[in-house]
Amino acid sequence: MAGKALIFSAPSGSGKTTLVRHLLNNNSDLGFSISASTRDKRGRTEQDGKDYHFLTPEQFKQKIDNGDFIEWEEVYAGNFYGTLKTEIEKIWKNGKNVIFDVDVKGGINLKKYFGDKALAIFVKVPSMEVLENRLKERGTESDESLSRRLFKAKFEMTFQDKFDVVLVNEDLDKSLAEAQKLYDTFKETP
């Protein structure tokens, strides 16, 4: 049944994006919600309308004033992220369920907005040490940004009880299978 929302939230480095991509590649009835953001594009690979809807801070604030967002927040100083109502309407109009890859606060806000039409999944790693190792393996973090992400992750972990399901991503194959099982059960629920 289309018109549902599948929300994946997690601290950075927990593997939520890998899980979301897997579900998108294996379920033609899912459509990805592209977030709006004021941050700069990373490298040459990110594209407007594919990775994010890249907006200037002025454009973003205008959309806030117009009531165009389901939810929005300033995730890092000067970097705003949000979910556009038109994005969800477009996916549902195409007869699909929507899947989100959002930070923890965004996930909580989306669950509040969609209620029973949403399944909110909190993805976590077995320990903070595992998370730190995963972030280091990416090779994209400075010592300062790594410290900031770990501090934020510890804080975000305190909100896992606000989600419908906690999925511990220790073994990727098992986590991929569990995510698929959760979606299959949820989409069949009236």
- Residue 103 is predicted with a pLDDT of 87
Structure tokens at 130: 């595992």
Q: What is the pLDDT of residues 103-160, one digit of tens each?
A: 898 999 999 999 999 999 999 987 778 777 877 777 677 778 777 878 888 889 899 9
Cβ proximity of 154 and 12 under 8 Å: no
pTM (2 decimals)? 0.87
The CA-to-CA distance between both ends of the chain, in Å, stands at 8
Q: Give the distance, in angstroms, between the CA of residue 123 and the centroid of all CA atoms in the same chain.
A: 10
- Tell me the average pLDDT across 156-178: 94
